[in-house]
Structure 1
Amino acid sequence: MAVKKTELYSSLWSSCDELRGGMDASQYKDYVLTLLFMKYVSDKYASDPDGTIIVPSGGSFKDMVALKGDKEIGDKINKIIGVLAEENDLKGVINVADFNDEDRLGKGREMVDRLSNLVAIFDGIDLSANRVEGDDLLGDAYEYLMRHFATESGKSKGQFYTPAEVSRILAKIIGITAQTRQDQTVYDPTCGSGSLLLKVADEAPRGLTIYGQEMDNSTWALARMNMFMHSYPSHEIWRDNTLSAPYWKNPDGSLKTFDFAVANPPFSYKSWSNGVNLTDDEFGRFEYGTPPDKNGDYAFLLHILKSLKSTGKAAVILPHGVLFRGNAEARIRQNLVRQGYISGIIGLPANLFYGTGIPACIIVIDKESDRNSQDLFMVDASKGFIKDGNKNRLRSQDIHKIVDAFTKKLELPRYSRMVSLEEIAKNDYNLNIPRYIDSSKPEDLHDLDAHLNGGIPDADINALQTYWAVFPNLRKTLFTSSKRSGYSNSLVEASQVKATILSHPEFTTFADRSLAIYTDWRKQHNDLLKGIAISDKPKELIKTLSEDLLARFAGADLLSRYEIYQLLMDYWAETMQDDVYVLVQDGWAAGKRLRQLIVKKGDKRPETPDLMIDKHKYKSDLIAPKLIIDRYFAPQQQQIDQLQADVEAKSQELETLIEEHIGEEGLLSDAQTDTGKVTKASITARLKEVKGDKEEQGVLKQCLKLFDGETEAKKVLRDKQTALDAAVFAQYPKLTEDEIKTLVVDDKWQGTLKNAIASEIERVTQQLANRVKTLEERYAEPLPQLVQEVEVLSSKVEEHLKRMGLEWN
């Protein structure tokens, strides 16, 4: 059965729950990732004698499964991992975590239970069913875990991971294309867990030769495992300090040079100079200046510059301070700019990285650039992000916009521009981005004359020209010229502005025209979506779909093509991606299938069932019951909806009657239970007791009748719902392949996307409505009118006080 990405992620994160408490995330990541690696290589290579990794007898995940409940499970797991490590030269890589550590895993039965549960979780993930070769299901799962480990590890321990979104930007801006050769090289001198290197390699369809160096032992081990998990077994990653002991060198002792380089060095590393000869560096890295011995930002940048070929390109993440700090760093910065090595700077939002909350930037180096053209392209992307827990995160649209602007040199207002060397020189080579790009929103200034004399300033109305260009007659519907030059009057009350816009013919035309773009896109890709076949590549599919959608909406009125693109990418991440992974592994027949859910004892994340049949719970991986109902059983559902409304009405009638007659003097007060409730049983008991009080008897009988009516209505509803569930359950195996494609592609995917785009169209017009409403309310009552109203109200107060014999001085 297919492995859904989100279900895989959930299972992996459940494994972390078993380890929390005894250690923090920076420690338990080694255990979880080691088990993931063991499970992966066992499923992938155990029956493949020619595989990249040899799984020897006594060194597989199955050997671990056999240990569940064993009182020596910790020591024996260590030995199993050791067997695999010895066979594949992975000692010091996969055997970093000690599974027999009582301080972290507990003693005796606690350790046995914890490790048994941990192994059981991984045993429940069938990775052998994954047939999406080259689509990196496991690599993405590894990336998912790394991101969560970094989030939980805290400020001081999350630096081993560069957010995938930032990695994608670096990968796309350094010039790697479909023509990049496999023998070309990419280098990361501070590679951490290797995620940044892998994102770069993903951009080269033919592959790239990977080189890296990492100082921390456990992080280096993570990088090695990461490479195997992403199917890059031929990587070259060394463990040592890059600045004091660079490993990658030529035979003559000089630094080896590479075609591409990327890096996310530790920010402002204070002890970078330990072991480095600052006065006579043997590698000649400091020819443009020696960095301060307590701040290593430029030390890493200069090392990378020296490690590039004459045509090399690099992108380096550094704190914003490198753009404007003075003294030694200012001299280095000036030299690099005048040499023409820095081709661009991209300012990123604050709080993106796990090791720090400060904003960072990307310095782009291009040794191949024309030395006579020393202009520098700047992007201020600091405003484009979404909150994600306690961190900020770049969205798909933010990434695409940055890459588009930088690679195409698009000059966008308040976002990006080409800056000349002359302008930089005038600023003393200070590269602080706000000096060159003002990304702040313009102030919403009030017009004092309008506050005093009334009317809405034409300047504010004219500022909405992008809307009036699309709705030329709507302006005349909303505003009319006043007697005062430069001011207009509103024609529509503020509360009616939105309704007026939505009902205007020009809006209807605009909405239809915008949806037509989506409809054309949908028709273009209908055959592609309905033709999804086993072993297709989901990532290639979403790239084709999203890039075409982005291109089609490039010329759309008012709508942001990046916002539309984001709608698709969000839906892909939430739902569509899982569906496609099911289809490319199991085919369209998966739409017929319902899984019976069996909740295991201790399961902390049980799945929510889609159907309950004869007390058995069932789940569909592809087609929710609602889709079946909407297409095949709509009349039955309408009947159930009406019955549900009837039940709610009867319940409300009963509740109202009870509320009217409870309390100390209420006719139902003696029918209340000890807890203060009125039940059918308590009403029945009170009816047997009450004698002679016809009024109380009448209310009790009316209440009992309503209870019976409610019970009967609920029974009818329940029976009808049970019958519908049974009909839906029976419909699944009857579905033909064409019907499944219609349900999934037309009803589920396209229906959801169409609704999302229609909402975006309305949201854009809502912005106009809000602004018009704000202007109307702001200038609705000029100052003289307010003064007059105050005087009238004051005189009324004085009159009331006089009548009361009081005087207000």
Structure 2
Amino acid sequence: MAIKKNELYSSLWSSCDELRGGMDASQYKDYVLTLLFMKYVSDKYKGDPYGMILVPPGASYDDMVALKGDKEIGDKINKIISALAEENDLKGVIDVADFNDEERLGKGKEMIDRLSKLVGIFEGMDLTSNRADGDDLLGDAYEYLMRHFATESGKSKGQFYTPSEVSRILSKVIGISDKTPQDATVYDPTCGSGSLLLKASDEAPRGLSIFGQEMDNATSALARMNMILHNNATAKIWKGNTLADPQWKEATTHGKAQLKTFDFAVANPPFSNKNWTSGINPAEDEFDRFTWGIPPEKNGDYTFLLHIIKSLKSTGKGAVILPHGVLFRGNAEARIRENLIKQGYIQGIIGLPANLFYGTGIPACIIVIDKDRSVYRDSIFMVDASKGFMKDGNKNRLRSQDIHKIVDVFTKQLELPRYSRKVPFTEIAANDYNLNIPRYIDSSEPEDLHDLSAHLQGGIPNADIEALNNYWQVFASLRSCLFEPARPSYSQARIKASEVKATILQHEEFKTFAAQSLIPFTQWKERAQLKTIQLGEQPKAIIHRISEDLLESYAQSALLSKYDIYQILMDYWAEVMQDDVYVLVQDGWQAGRVLRELTANKGEKLKETPDLVIGKSKYKAELIPPVLIAERFFSSQLRQIEQLQANLDSATQELESFVEEHSGEEGLLCEALNDKDKVTAASVKARLKLAADVEERKVLQQCSKLMDAESHAKKALKTAQDELDLAIFKHYSTLDEEDIKVLLVDDKWLATLQSNIVAEIERVTQQLANRVKELEERYSEPLPAITQSVENLSDKVAGHLKAMGLEWAE
């Protein structure tokens, strides 16, 4: 059975729980990722003499499993990893973590139990079918772990990971396409765990030749493992200080060393490096990297940018993440900036939201370098994408729609109000070569100004109403339903503010708009052909095809943003659909009949919530939730259960109301309260045997009767639910392929997507309703009316005080 992404992620993260306490995330990531690597290469290459990785006898993950409970488990795991490392030239790469470290893993039995559990978590995974024709299930899981490790590591130790969303932007804006040859080169001088390089390579159909350098030993090891897990074992990752000792260089015809040049470069260097001059004399740099100026000694941001420019071929393109300060700081940096602008090397600048990165909370930008057409360049394309993001814990995160919009706008050079524009060199020169984005793009929302005349004399300003013109173009007659002329340049409301939303939703133009807005979706779902998914297809290719088609389908839709619709699909893909598709491409449609029985070790809870409980057995549906089978094949039983649930709710409500009425301090049920101040069937029956008062007995008997009614209702509901669950359980095995396709595609995927799009349509109209209501309430009472109301109330107060014998002296 195929491994679902979310299930794999959950299992991997639970392995981290075994290590928390003894060390922080920056340390235990080495243990978890090493075991993940060992499990992957063992499953994939054990017994294969021609495999990319050779697994020698005694050096597989199975040999680790055999050590569970062993008194020397830590030392023996170290030896197993060491044997694999020596065989594959991975010394210093996969043997960084010490599995016999008592300070981190505990002593004696504590270490034995911890490592045994840790090995056991990975033991249950089958990673032989990790890849589905180019889809990196495990590589993506590695990225998932890296993101969580970076989140937990905090500011000081999270720099090893660039968020994959940002990596995707860099890889797309530097011009890698399906026409880029496999021998084209990509370089990252501060590669961290290698995510930027891998994302860039993914943009080419057959990958790229990868080169990287990373100063931190442990992080460069992560990068090497990451390359292998992503099937890029030939990637060349060096350790060392790129600035002081660049590893990628070549000899010239004169015998002098120069930097090796590449087709593409991507980088997220450390921000504002204060010791970049360590081991280097900038004035005598043998690689001539500082031709356009020497960066300040205590700030190395431009150092890395200059290094990358020097490392690009004459036709090379690169993208570098740097703090916003490089755009406007003065002195030495201003001179470098001016020289680079005049050289025409800077193609564009993309301003990103704050708090995206794990090493810092400050906002950053992407500087896009293009040497190819630098001679002809006369402008810089700027994008202010600082407003598009979502909150993700204590960090901000780019959504799929944010990434797509940035890439679309940049690659197509689209100029959008308050978002992007092409800024000519002449304008930049007039600003002393300051590139601070707000100088050129005002991304702020227009201020919502109040109209003084409207507050004094009443009426809603026509200017505010006309500002909603994009709505009136769609709802041509709705405006006259909501407003009527009051005086020149002002209108008044025709309906109460509380009725605005209902009026809009009931208007024929809205109904027409809602129906027309679903037509692109209806046409798209026919083209998507989701019922034709076959074994071996690539899930990433599927989502790319259908998401781009949906985006284009809504490109001309009035009021609706194509990017918002696109996000609906991408969110559902991430939460549900991608797991389903991974199962289909590996196991076929028959997986729709599968119910997995859930089990747990003694004393442990189930890791998953069951979908069906039959007797004492608990089951999880692989693809199709039981409720969908109930709706399509057992609708009459489902309606019966809904009625029984309603009966139970009614019986419970009647009982609770009766008990509340009669169980106060002087209530006739107070003697039936048990120790927990709760009336129970047992306490009522016990009190009935003792009660002599006629009224008390009458109340107790009625209470008992209501309790019996509730009990019967519960029993009837449970019996019906158990019968339905059993019928559903048996029906899974009878589903044919056509049944599964209808249930999965129509009833699960498309029904959910359509429901979410309908909600988006209503959200757009809710924005109109909210604005109209706001305008009506804002100007509903002019100032004179409010003043008169205050005077009237003041007179009433004075009258009351006078009647009480209190009167203010003039």
2:84 equivalent to 1:84: yes
Separation (CA, whole Å) in 2 of partners of 1:281 and 1:340: 23
Tell whether the 8 Å contact from 2:131 to 2:137 is kept in structure 1 after alignment.
no
- The structural deviation recorded for 1:680 is 1.0
- The structural deviation recorded for 1:559 is 0.3
3-state SS of the aligned residue for 1:262? strand
2:291 equivalent to 1:287: yes
Tell whether the 8 Å contact from 2:600 to 2:606 is kept in structure 1 after alignment.
no
- The structural deviation recorded for 1:129 is 3.8
Question: Aligned residue for 1:463?
Answer: 467
Question: Aligned residue for 1:688?
Answer: 689
Question: Aligned residue for 2:360?
Answer: 356
Q: Show CA shifts across 1:82-101 (max 9, x none).
A: 11001111111000000000
2:512 equivalent to 1:509: yes
Q: Which amino acid aligns with 2:331?
A: N
2:398 equivalent to 1:391: no
Q: Show CA shifts across 1:201-227 (max 9, x none).
A: 000002210000010000000000000
2:509 equivalent to 1:498: no
2:560 equivalent to 1:556: no
Separation (CA, whole Å) in 2 of partners of 1:370 and 1:354: 33
Separation (CA, whole Å) in 2 of partners of 1:654 and 1:187: 72
- The structural deviation recorded for 1:674 is 2.2
Q: CA 1:604–1:327 in 2, change beyond 3 Å: closer, same or farther?
A: farther
Question: Aligned residue for 2:237?
Answer: 237
- The structural deviation recorded for 1:645 is 1.1
Any gaps of 5 or more consecutive residues in structure 2? none
Question: Aligned residue for 1:374?
Answer: 378
3-state SS of the aligned residue for 1:140? helix
Q: Which amino acid aligns with 1:354?
A: Y
2:524 equivalent to 1:521: yes
Question: Aligned residue for 2:140?
Answer: 140
Tell whether the 8 Å contact from 2:74 to 2:100 is kept in structure 1 after alignment.
yes
Tell whether the 8 Å contact from 1:337 to 1:374 is kept in structure 2 after alignment.
no
Q: Show CA shifts across 1:333-359 (max 9, x none).
A: 000001100010000000000000000
3-state SS of the aligned residue for 1:555? coil
Separation (CA, whole Å) in 2 of partners of 1:141 and 1:71: 31
Q: CA 1:83–1:32 in 2, change beyond 3 Å: closer, same or farther?
A: same
Question: Aligned residue for 1:329?
Answer: 333
Q: Which amino acid aligns with 1:398?
A: D
2:336 equivalent to 1:343: no
Tell whether the 8 Å contact from 1:454 to 1:780 is kept in structure 2 after alignment.
yes
- Aligned residues with identical type, % of pairs: 70
2:492 to 489, 508, 512: 489
Q: Which amino acid aligns with 1:665?
A: E
- The structural deviation recorded for 1:443 is 0.6
Detail structure 1 runs of 4+ shifted over 6 Å in the superposition.
none
Question: Aligned residue for 2:796?
Answer: 796
2:425 to 411, 421, 424: 421
Q: Show CA shifts across 1:81-131 (max 9, x none).
A: 011001111111000000000000000000000000000000011112445
- The structural deviation recorded for 1:600 is 2.1
- The structural deviation recorded for 1:578 is 0.4
Separation (CA, whole Å) in 2 of partners of 1:678 and 1:639: 30
Separation (CA, whole Å) in 1 of partners of 2:361 and 2:420: 24
Question: Aligned residue for 1:761?
Answer: 761
Question: Aligned residue for 2:301?
Answer: 297
Aligned residue runs from structure 1 range 699-718, under 5 A: 699-718=699-718
Over the aligned positions, Cα root-mean-square deviation in angstroms equals: 0.9
1:308 to 309, 312, 337: 312
**TM-score w.r.t. length of structure 1:** 0.99
- The structural deviation recorded for 1:373 is 2.7
- The structural deviation recorded for 1:251 is 2.0
**TM-score w.r.t. length of structure 2:** 0.99
Separation (CA, whole Å) in 1 of partners of 2:603 and 2:363: 43
Separation (CA, whole Å) in 1 of partners of 2:130 and 2:147: 23
Question: Aligned residue for 2:55?
Answer: 55
3-state SS of the aligned residue for 2:284? coil
- The structural deviation recorded for 1:602 is 5.8
3-state SS of the aligned residue for 2:283? coil
Tell whether the 8 Å contact from 1:668 to 1:696 is kept in structure 2 after alignment.
yes
Aligned residue runs from structure 1 range 392-411, under 5 A: 392-411=396-415
3-state SS of the aligned residue for 2:132? coil
Aligned residue runs from structure 1 range 442-461, under 5 A: 442-461=446-465
Q: Show CA shifts across 1:652-673 (max 9, x none).
A: 1111111111133211111111
- The structural deviation recorded for 1:399 is 0.2
Separation (CA, whole Å) in 2 of partners of 1:3 and 1:93: 27
Separation (CA, whole Å) in 2 of partners of 1:47 and 1:650: 66
2:177 equivalent to 1:177: yes
Aligned residue runs from structure 1 range 662-741, under 5 A: 662-691=663-692, 693-741=693-741
Aligned residue runs from structure 1 range 98-177, under 5 A: 98-130=98-130, 132-177=132-177
Separation (CA, whole Å) in 1 of partners of 2:670 and 2:184: 86
Question: Aligned residue for 2:273?
Answer: 269
Separation (CA, whole Å) in 2 of partners of 1:158 and 1:690: 71
Tell whether the 8 Å contact from 1:14 to 1:604 is kept in structure 2 after alignment.
no
Separation (CA, whole Å) in 2 of partners of 1:225 and 1:556: 46
- The structural deviation recorded for 1:370 is 4.3
Question: Aligned residue for 2:625?
Answer: 624
Tell whether the 8 Å contact from 1:690 to 1:697 is kept in structure 2 after alignment.
yes
- The structural deviation recorded for 1:374 is 2.0
Q: CA 1:602–1:151 in 2, change beyond 3 Å: closer, same or farther?
A: farther
Separation (CA, whole Å) in 2 of partners of 1:381 and 1:734: 52
Aligned residue runs from structure 1 range 186-201, under 5 A: 186-201=186-201
Separation (CA, whole Å) in 2 of partners of 1:448 and 1:47: 83
Tell whether the 8 Å contact from 1:190 to 1:215 is kept in structure 2 after alignment.
yes
Separation (CA, whole Å) in 1 of partners of 2:592 and 2:675: 52
Question: Aligned residue for 2:478?
Answer: 474
- The structural deviation recorded for 1:707 is 1.1
Question: Aligned residue for 2:653?
Answer: 652
Q: Show CA shifts across 1:622-677 (max 9, x none).
A: 00001101101111111111111111111111111111111332111111112211
Q: Which amino acid aligns with 1:631?
A: R
Separation (CA, whole Å) in 1 of partners of 2:388 and 2:724: 47
Q: Which amino acid aligns with 1:430?
A: N
Separation (CA, whole Å) in 1 of partners of 2:275 and 2:355: 24
3-state SS of the aligned residue for 2:376? coil
Q: Show CA shifts across 1:740-759 (max 9, x none).
A: 00000000000000000000
Tell whether the 8 Å contact from 1:131 to 1:585 is kept in structure 2 after alignment.
no
